[in-house]
C-alpha cells in the first residue's frame, strides 16, 4: 500500500518539527513546502531529515519544494505559513501580515489538494482557519485549527508539576479562542478521574490558568520567537487521529453552526476526530461561569474575524 502523503505548508520551526514527528511516527511521506526564496532551506531540511532515517531505520520520503504541484493529492495539509510572534506582540497583531499569506495558501490548496484534511496552525489561529474555510469553501469536516491540544497540554503540564503527579495522568480541557481569554475548563480537568480541584488549591489553580493563558507569550519572551515542539505535537495528535481513524476526542478549533449557541465562527470545542475528519462536535455541559468565559472568548474571536471579513 502506498504511504499517505502529508504536505506541510511552511518549512520553518514548526514545519521542521512536524516533519520530524511524521517520520518518527511513520504517518506518511512528507512534502515540506515553502516560498521560492526559502526553497533551498526547505530542501536542506528535507535532506537532513532523510539522512537521519538512514540511522533510525524509518522508511519515509521527505521532499523539500516551493512548487505547489508537489503537494497534489495530499491526504493531510498542515499550514504554518506566516510570521511568528516577537516579544511584545499579541497573536492578533499578526493579522495584517498573515492574512494575505493564508489567502495565497487557501487558493493553492483548493487547486492542488482539495480533498485533504487541513489543520491550520498560523496565527491568529481562529481567524486564519475561518478565512481558509471561507476562501476554499471546503467542508467543515475537513478544516480544523490547532490550538486546544496545545493549550490543554500546557495546562496539563502546569497541573502535573504543581500537584506532583505524572503528566500522563492529567486530563485537561482548554476551550474557546486561542487568545488570552481562552477557557481552561476546570470541571472537566482531572488527574485520572480525580477532579483537579481536589488536588490543587483554588489560588494555585487560578495562577495555573493565568500561566496557561499566557503560555505562548512566556515562550516568546524566553526565545524571541514562538514555540514549536508542543505546537507540532498538538497538530500531529490531530493528524494521526485522522490518518489512523482513532476517533479521539480532542479540543480543536472547529466551525460552529449553532453548536454552543454560535454560528459561522471557529472556536475551540471538543471534537471527535477520525477517518472522516471532524466526525462530531461534542456539546458538553458548562457551568454559568464557564459559559460566560466562553462568551467573552467568542467575542474576541468574532472581533478579529470581522476585521478579516471586512478586508475580503
Ligand atoms: N506559503 C508558504 N510558506 C510561507 C508563506 C507562503 N505564502 N509565507 C511565509 N511562509 C513560510 C516562511 O517562509 C517560513 O519559513 O512560513 C514559515 C514559517 O516558519 P517560522 O517563521 O519558523 O514560524 P513558525 O514558528 O513555524 O510559526 C508559524 O505558526 O504558531 C504559528 O504564530 C505562529 O503564525 C506563526 C506560524
pLDDT on residue 111: 97
Which three three-digit cell numbers place residue 77? 495539509
Residue 194 neighbours by CB distance under 10 Å: 13
SS3 282: coil
Q: How many CA atoms lie within 13 A of 182 on its CB side?
A: 35
pLDDT on residue 41: 98
- Contact yes or no for 64/46 (Cβ under 8 A): yes
Which three three-digit cell numbers place residue 204? 494555585
Q: Is 249 exposed, middle or buried (0-12, 13-18, 19+ CB in 10 A)?
A: middle
Catalytic site residue from 58, 112, 142, 178:
178
From 7, 10, 99, 232, give the residue whose CB has the most ligand 1 atoms within 8 Å, as the site to mutate: 10
198-254 tens-digit pLDDT: 999 999 999 999 999 999 999 999 999 999 999 999 999 999 999 999 999 999 999
Closest-CA residue, ligand 1 atom 32, reads 84
pLDDT > 70 in the chain, percent: 100
112-131 tens-digit pLDDT: 999 999 999 999 999 999 99
Task: Indicate which atom in ligand 1 lies nearest the CA of residue 37.
Answer: 13
DSSP state of 259: G
pTM above 0.95, yes or no: yes
Confidence of residue 1 (pLDDT cuts 50, 70, 90): confident
Closest-CA residue, ligand 1 atom 19, reads 12
- Contact yes or no for 15/48 (Cβ under 8 A): no
| Cα 285 from Cα 275, distance rounded (Å) | 26
pLDDT on residue 269: 98
CA of 121 to the centre of ligand 1 (A): 9
58 is an active site residue: no
Residue 173 neighbours by CB distance under 10 Å: 23
- Contact yes or no for 174/185 (Cβ under 8 A): yes
Mean pLDDT (whole number) for 256-273 = 97
CA of 245 to the centre of ligand 1 (A): 28
Point out which residues pair with 174 in neighbouring strands: 184
Q: How many CA atoms lie within 13 A of 149 on its CB side?
A: 27
Ligand 1 pocket: which residues have CB below 6 Å? Answer: 9-15, 33-35, 38, 80-82, 84-85, 94, 98, 101, 104-105, 121-123, 225-226, 228, 231
Q: Is 217 exposed, middle or buried (0-12, 13-18, 19+ CB in 10 A)?
A: middle
pLDDT > 90 in the chain, percent: 95
Radius of gyration over alpha carbons of the chain, in Å? 19
Confidence of residue 15 (pLDDT cuts 50, 70, 90): very high
pLDDT on residue 285: 95
CA of 106 to the centre of ligand 1 (A): 14
What is the rounded average pLDDT for all residues in the chain? 96
CA of 20 to the centre of ligand 1 (A): 16
Closest-CA residue, ligand 1 atom 27, reads 84
Place of cell 521532499: 63
pLDDT on residue 37: 98
pLDDT on residue 90: 87
CA of 229 to the centre of ligand 1 (A): 14
**Greatest distance between any 2 Cα atoms in the chain:** 55
47-97 tens-digit pLDDT: 999 999 999 999 999 999 999 999 999 999 999 999 988 898 888 889 999
Task: Indicate which atom in ligand 1 lies nearest the CA of residue 226.
Answer: 25
Angle, CA of 29, 151 and 179, to the nearest 5° = 110
In this predicted structure, the answer to whether residue 171 has a pLDDT above a threshold of 90 is yes
pLDDT on residue 2: 83
In this predicted structure, the answer to whether residue 22 has a pLDDT above a threshold of 80 is yes
Amino acid at each position: 500500500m502506498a504511504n499517505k502523503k502529508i504536505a506541510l505548508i511552511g518549512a520553518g520551526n514548526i514545519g521542521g518539527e512536524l516533519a520530524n514527528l511524521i517520520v518518527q511516527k511513520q504517518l506518511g511521506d512528507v512534502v515540506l513546502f515553502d516560498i521560492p526564496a526559502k526553497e533551498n532551506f526547505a530542501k536542506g531540511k528535507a535532506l537532513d531529515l532523510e539522512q537521519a532515517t538512514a540511522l533510525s531505520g524509518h522508511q519515509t520520503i521527505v521532499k523539500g519544494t516551493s512548487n505547489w504541484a508537489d503537494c497534489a493529492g495530499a491526504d493531510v495539509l498542515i499550514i504554518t505559513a506566516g510570521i511568528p510572534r516577537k516579544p511584545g506582540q499579541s497573536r492578533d497583531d499578526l493579522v495584517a501580515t498573515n492574512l494575505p499569506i493564508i489567502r495565497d495558501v487557501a487558493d493553492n490548496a483548493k487547486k492542488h489538494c482539495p480533498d485533504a484534511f487541513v489543520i491550520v496552525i498560523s496565527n491568529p489561529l481562529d481567524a486564519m482557519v475561518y478565512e481558509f474555510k471561507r476562501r476554499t469553501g471546503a467542508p467543515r469536516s475537513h478544516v480544523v485549527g490547532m490550538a486546544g491540544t496545545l493549550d490543554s497540554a500546557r495546562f496539563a503540564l502546569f497541573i502535573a508539576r504543581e500537584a506532583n503527579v505524572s503528566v500522563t495522568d492529567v486530563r485537561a480541557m482548554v476551550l474557546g479562542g486561542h487568545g488570552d481569554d481562552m477557557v481552561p475548563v476546570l470541571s472537566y480537568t482531572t488527574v485520572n478521574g480525580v477532579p483537579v480541584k481536589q488536588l490543587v488549591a483554588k489560588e494555585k489553580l487560578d495562577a495555573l490558568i493565568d500561566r496557561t493563558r499566557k503560555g505562548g507569550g512566556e515562550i516568546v519572551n524566553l526565545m524571541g520567537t514562538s514555540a514549536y515542539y508542543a505546537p507540532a505535537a498538538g497538530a500531529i495528535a490531530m493528524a494521526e487521529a485522522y490518518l489512523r481513524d482513532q476517533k479521539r476526542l480532542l479540543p480543536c478549533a472547529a466551525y460552529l453552526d449553532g453548536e454552543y449557541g454560535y454560528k459561522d465562527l471557529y472556536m475551540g470545542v471538543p471534537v471527535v476526530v477520525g477517518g472522516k475528519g471532524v466526525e462530531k462536535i461534542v456539546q458538553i455541559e458548562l457551568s454559568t461561569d464557564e459559559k460566560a468565559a466562553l462568551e467573552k472568548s467568542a467575542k474576541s474571536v468574532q472581533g478579529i474575524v470581522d476585521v478579516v471579513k471586512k478586508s475580503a
